[in-house]
Structure 1
């Protein structure tokens, strides 16, 4: 029995060897992906290794951890040259971004559209890819997850 455990541990370590230094974003997952999404993902892709990567990068759903998790600001990062391929993101920046004073657009060469969520000190806490999000989803996400900036009177 102990030998069986040891063999499984070694096989697991060997399987992860090439991926241990990759971040969730590099693997195509983000820290805010819900673990229940990995269930649906596993049914579609039928690849155990990808499912394991998903589970390493997901967040458990519970009332305390996700629904109340908020950030002090965000940076919407995208490549200006690629922006035309993401019309929902482009429309959001042009027509809705001003509604969110705690969110800034930043153009970075070759960057896929993503929201980088920031703490009160401006440190990056989470990154969420928004390639396929509709404008309404971006707006709704920011309303729920980014605290509005308080303007001084």
Structure 2
């Protein structure tokens, strides 16, 4: 790998807080010395960091080396679906555009709540309507909000419940 590519990769890893421990299944490298020669610290390299590297188009060879030196951090590829969500907002044009569009009708489990002076947040709720996660979305655009809801809001379960409740 050329020195510039190695520098970009190390800067990327530094911004993620470093690099992890060897994975049981993903480690093909016998020694930490080989990982160090590639610029990785197997005691701190998380495999999710290697997965994130693909966004920066650093090359498949570099990503493969990373995956050989990383350890699993338990991050699942499948997302948990939540039955309901609350979108709290005040005056953020990006989020307001989403709210005023017809896109919100695609999410029957989504409640829009206006909170004076509040930064926009999404609260994900479980079946008992307890808040499980709260996410700040002040830097998100309309498409990001929609993608997130598509990924984490379980619209199918709510539609089935609504159909059963209708006589």
Give 2:15's aligned residue. Answer: 40
Give 1:49's aligned residue. Answer: none
SS in structure 2 opposite 1:70?
coil
Consecutive aligned runs of 4 or more in structure 1 exceeding 2 Å deviation? 37-43
Q: Among 90, 94, 103, which residue is 1:88 paired with? A: 94
Give 1:125's aligned residue. Answer: 132
Q: Which runs of 5+ in 1 are unaligned?
A: 1-36, 44-59
Structure 1 or 2, whichever has the larger Rg, is 2
Supply the distance in 2 between the matched residues of 1:123 and 1:108 (Cα, whole angstroms). 19
Residue-by-residue CA offset, 1:19-73 (whole Å, 9 max, x unaligned): xxxxxxxxxxxxxxxxxx9963669xxxxxxxxxxxxxxxx56226xx3212111
Give 1:63's aligned residue. Answer: 76
SS in structure 2 opposite 1:132?
coil
Q: Which runs of 5+ in 2 are unaligned?
A: 1-11, 19-72
Give 1:141's aligned residue. Answer: 148
**TM-score normalised according to structure 2 size:** 0.50
SS in structure 1 opposite 2:147?
helix
The answer to which structure, 1 or 2, has the higher relative contact order (CA under 8 A, 6+ apart) is: 1
Alignment of 1:95-110 (within 5 A): 95=101, 96-110=103-117
**TM-score normalised according to structure 1 size:** 0.54
Q: 1:114 to 1:152 in 2, by over 3 A?
A: same
Q: 1:87 to 1:68 in 2, by over 3 A?
A: same
Check if 1:116 corresponds to 2:123.
yes
SS in structure 2 opposite 1:152?
helix
Q: 1:113 to 1:152 in 2, by over 3 A?
A: same
